[in-house]
A and B are shown apart, each in its own frame.
Chain A
Amino acid sequence: MQLEISNLRKAYGATVALDGVSFTATAPQFVCMLGPSGCGKTTLLRMIAGLVAPDSGRLLLNSEDLTRVPARRRGFGIVFQSYSLFPNMTVAENIGYGLRIRGDEAQRVRIRVLELLDVIRLSELADRYPWQLSGGQQQRVALARAIAAEPRLLLLDEPLSALDAKVRTDLRTEIRNLQQQLGLLTIMVTHDQEEALTLADRVVCMRQGSIAQAGSPEDLYRRPANRFVADFMGLSNMIPLETVQKFAAQLLEGHVPSDGATACVRPEDIVLVSGGAGATVKSVQFLGNISRVQVAWPGGELVAEQPGMAALAAGANVGLAFKPGGCAWVSAS
């Protein structure tokens, strides 16, 4: 199963929601579309689903042109943030809905529903109505409903955003396992970069209707293509080239960056040497598993992270070291 998107464009009046987006994804990939709100990721997902028509561009699945095929003929499964279970149907009826639409006979639908109830471990709730379920349970039912009719593609629109932190991590694992078992090409929209990093085989980071960078989670985190991606994917220290040349030449590692480039150094790649000199601790935040330390050095301010509780106090003098290979160079824009 291969999804090929080429040059999709969509404008609402003067606002350009999608500005010529292209990418390809192949089963069993898990693709996360990531970006701040208004970047076009949801529009893109809805376009793949067939709920929004593109102004131009093409959408192919296994070289079958789906651009003008309505949503109901695409055979995709979709899960929304708001659960979106049919309130007038039981859990079992919700799960079997797509099968009944397809015209499966009652017995087959029943067997398939039982199977899926078993997968999402909610067999005992088959006859409940959606409002009798917790958020996490509702979303599992929505997931079962989406995969019941063996979709060619699974689309997830911020499926975890409405859930509590604990339920969210559990369901995250569940979704990933299910997707792997089914070998199902899955596309998920999220604004949570941690979610994208943990779930995805490929991350498509979007900005203002275009793709800022697409690649493996590691690519985006370790080798951001531009300043936007570096900024968006977790915390990073952005150090202008002149500052590096003046105060931290070791970061160059034989590199010759172009003019106006910026060094992107992750906080965990900065090592603070207590008792050393060259920088002053401004503040220390204890976050549980790590401590985040704000330091002042001649090149400005930096954020460093250390595992556990840092044995540093504000005002302490520290030495500064950069882990080798921890610096990525990004262009100015």
Chain B
Amino acid sequence: MGIGIVTSIGIPRARDTDRLFLILCLVVPLSALILFFVYPLATVVVHSVTEPDGRIGFGNYATVISQPNFWRATANSMVMSLATTAVSLILGLIIAFATQRCRIAGRSLVLAAVALPLLAPSLVQGLGLIFLLGRNGLVTKALGVEFNIYGFWGLLIANSLYALPQAVLIIAAALRSADARVYEAAEVLGTSKLRQFFDITLPNIKFGLLSAGFIIFTVTITDFGNAATIGGDYAILATEIYGQVVGQMNFNLGAVVGIMLLLPTMLAFYLERVATQRQFGSGSDSAVPLVPGWSPARDIPMTVVAWIIALLPLITIGIVVYASFVWLWPYRFDLTVRHYAVKIAGGYEPLWTTVQISLLAAFAGAVMLFALGFALQRLPRSLVKPVYFLSLLPAAVPGLVLGLAYILTFNAASGPWQLLYGTAALLAICNMMHYWTQGFLTTMTGLRQVPAALEETAACLGAGLPRVMREVTGPLMAQTLISVFFFLFMRSMVTLSAVIFLVTASVSVASVSIMRLDEAGFTAQAAAFATCTMAVVIVAAGVMQLSLYLLGRRRR
């Protein structure tokens, strides 16, 4: 038979490379987090308490607080965010319910339409609304009435559309986790459908709704793109920071406003984490999935309503694409590509720069997050907890505050950091940090699904940690890492708020070009530029789906 046992004697006790590898996996991402997140943020705090004469004090705070503008912007931000939260939550619940609990026609098209804003820079909603409802908008012209779309209402619509995809994602996930047996029991007890909705469905997704609400609130209060295009005179905190810094070159006051903006987002983010834990923390795998049956009385009206909602983002974004091909909006609707000859400094250069920045952010982010997660799974709890906490923080920091932190830190007159200022690398790092938390949470979820026994088996077979990571954990994490990579890539492609402060004449990004074109009155060219940007993102989304599909097929 030939299977004899060869006694292996004297196994070499080489130095423990595993330890070294683990330290490397932890230290590299952690240093990035400290150097490019904690340190810049601390710099903002220092600047906010540095008075004009260079002393430390709360003078800047006193100045800001005494300005009526600040209070107006704060009140506007709160009102706008709460209103958007209400609108998006209701629309999100309808879409989620229609797609998860009803049998509506064109279910996946509705979901795709609602997800569109994720693929576009946030300015695009604003642009679209201007093409529809602005002074020269299609609807305005058709009806012959003059709306003032710039201001509260325009911003509310734009923000609501922008936040809707995230609301739908969370609420749909909460609805999916329901157990069909509960509803069967209610059915047997003779409970009406309406009572089932209020007595079972709503209480079950309570925390999902809360979590979605806090996410919408955070996304809205920190957004800059929509406010910049369609906000008009409706000043909010984000535009206030931008005004202080870019308009008045008053960095320290900008820092104060930034910290003020940090307070509600931190709170909202904390509450969101708590709510998420309550909703998704104790998911039982044994639930019988609920498959809705066909019920005309419910499904026909829901189809109509869902499609009306889905048409809003579809039309708003579609009109931007359409407008980019129109000869002279709204007078001559011949189709042309003349707006694609972009007349702004650099032309399409910023788009290619954005692609490079996004690739770099996505690659560095995915690698670092994987390394960090891998290390965290093997380190003592006392070490894991603070690192975990630190990794959650970036989500609570508005992009504008992060961007401000970066100029204050990396544009300082002296120091080695200045070398980074104005480079594409710094923009990539900034984007990676901006979206670090979401990538981190996805990576950790993926890692938790890798059975520990596999890694242990490999260890017993003699595999060191680098090999375990490469040959066991890596292949199993491929799908998660691809998702993280493309998430970071797509977000980096369209983000505006964090990078707006960091672009220079030579290194700029697509969303800034769109904003500049719009500000300069070249609206059609802004639309053309936005269309090109969306095309890149849609191609990326396609590549992601394809690679996930291919991987999934190879696996099973």
In this complex, what residue of A is CB-closest to B474? A88
Interface 0/1 of B469-480, CB less than 8 Å to A: 001100110000
Range of interface residues on B (Cβ < 8 Å): 20 to 34
Indicate whether A115 reaches chain B with its CB closer than 8 angstroms.
yes
Selected from A70, A101, A119, A131, the residue in CB contact (under 8 A) with B461 is A101
Residues in B with CB closer than 8 Å to A183 are 5
On whether the beta carbons of A87 and B457 are closer than 8 Å, the reply is no
Indicate whether A255 reaches chain B with its CB closer than 8 angstroms.
no
Indicate whether B297 reaches chain A with its CB closer than 8 angstroms.
no
> Known contacts A84-B453, A86-B454; is A49 also within 8 Å of B5 by CB?
no
Indicate whether B11 reaches chain A with its CB closer than 8 angstroms.
yes
> Known contacts A149-B461, A150-B5, A183-B5; is A78 also within 8 Å of B13 by CB?
no
Selected from A97, A101, A145, A147, the residue in CB contact (under 8 A) with B3 is A147
In this complex, what residue of A is CB-closest to B478? A88
Q: Which of B454, B458, B460 has the largest number of chain A CB atoms within 10 A? A: B460
Label chain B's interface by main secondary structure: loop
Selected from A1, A71, A116, A119, the residue in CB contact (under 8 A) with B7 is A1
Residues in B with CB closer than 8 Å to A84 are 451, 453-454, 456-457
Residues in B with CB closer than 8 Å to A151 are 5
* Those of A142-174 within 8 Å (CB) of chain B: 142, 145-147, 149-152, 155
Residues in A with CB closer than 8 Å to B6 are 150
> Known contacts A1-B7, A80-B456, A82-B453; is A145 also within 8 Å of B461 by CB?
yes
Residues in B with CB closer than 8 Å to A74 are 11, 460
Selected from B1, B3, B5, B459, the residue in CB contact (under 8 A) with A51 is B459
Closest Cβ–Cβ distance, residue A158 to chain B (whole Å): 11
Closest Cβ–Cβ distance, residue A143 to chain B (whole Å): 12
Indicate whether A75 reaches chain B with its CB closer than 8 angstroms.
yes
> Known contacts A86-B454, A87-B476; is A72 also within 8 Å of B2 by CB?
no
Indicate whether B448 reaches chain A with its CB closer than 8 angstroms.
no
On whether the beta carbons of B462 and A101 are closer than 8 Å, the reply is yes
Indicate whether A181 reaches chain B with its CB closer than 8 angstroms.
yes
Residues in B with CB closer than 8 Å to A80 are 453, 456-457
Q: Please measure, in the bound complex, the distance between the C-alpha atom of A1 and the C-alpha atom of B7, giving whole angstroms.
A: 9
Q: Please measure, in the bound complex, the distance between the C-alpha atom of A49 and the C-alpha atom of B455, giving whole angstroms.
A: 13
On whether the beta carbons of A72 and B460 are closer than 8 Å, the reply is yes
On whether the beta carbons of A88 and B451 are closer than 8 Å, the reply is no
Closest Cβ–Cβ distance, residue A178 to chain B (whole Å): 8
On whether the beta carbons of B8 and A75 are closer than 8 Å, the reply is yes
On whether the beta carbons of A97 and B461 are closer than 8 Å, the reply is yes
Interface 0/1 of B533-556, CB less than 8 Å to A: 000000000000000000000011
> Known contacts A75-B11, A88-B476; is A101 also within 8 Å of B463 by CB?
yes
Residues in A with CB closer than 8 Å to B16 are 70
Indicate whether B519 reaches chain A with its CB closer than 8 angstroms.
no
Range of interface residues on A (Cβ < 8 Å): 35 or more
Q: Please measure, in the bound complex, the distance between the C-alpha atom of A65 and the C-alpha atom of B396, giving whole angstroms.
A: 50
On whether the beta carbons of B8 and A150 are closer than 8 Å, the reply is yes
On whether the beta carbons of A76 and B460 are closer than 8 Å, the reply is yes
Indicate whether B193 reaches chain A with its CB closer than 8 angstroms.
no
On whether the beta carbons of A88 and B464 are closer than 8 Å, the reply is no
> Known contacts A115-B3, A183-B5; is A72 also within 8 Å of B459 by CB?
yes
* Those of A123-155 within 8 Å (CB) of chain B: 131, 142, 145-147, 149-152, 155
On whether the beta carbons of A184 and B472 are closer than 8 Å, the reply is no
On whether the beta carbons of B453 and A72 are closer than 8 Å, the reply is no
On whether the beta carbons of A73 and B475 are closer than 8 Å, the reply is no
Indicate whether B187 reaches chain A with its CB closer than 8 angstroms.
no
Residues in A with CB closer than 8 Å to B184 are none
In this complex, what residue of A is CB-closest to B8? A75
Residues in A with CB closer than 8 Å to B385 are none
Indicate whether B298 reaches chain A with its CB closer than 8 angstroms.
no
On whether the beta carbons of A73 and B1 are closer than 8 Å, the reply is no
Selected from B4, B7, B11, the residue in CB contact (under 8 A) with A73 is B11
Residues of chain A having any CB pair with chain B under 8 Å: 1, 49-51, 69-78, 80, 82, 84, 86-88, 97-98, 101-102, 115-116, 119, 131, 142, 145-147, 149-152, 155, 181-184
Jot down 19 A-B pairs with beta carbons below 8 A, ordered by A: A51-B459, A51-B460, A69-B11, A70-B16, A72-B460, A73-B14, A82-B453, A86-B457, A86-B472, A87-B475, A88-B475, A102-B462, A116-B3, A119-B1, A119-B3, A147-B3, A149-B461, A150-B5, A183-B5
Report, nearest first, the 4 A-B pairs whose CB atoms are least far apart. Answer: A98-B461, A88-B475, A84-B453, A80-B453
Residues of chain B having any CB pair with chain A under 8 Å: 1-8, 11-14, 16, 18, 451, 453-454, 456-464, 467, 471-472, 475-476, 555-556
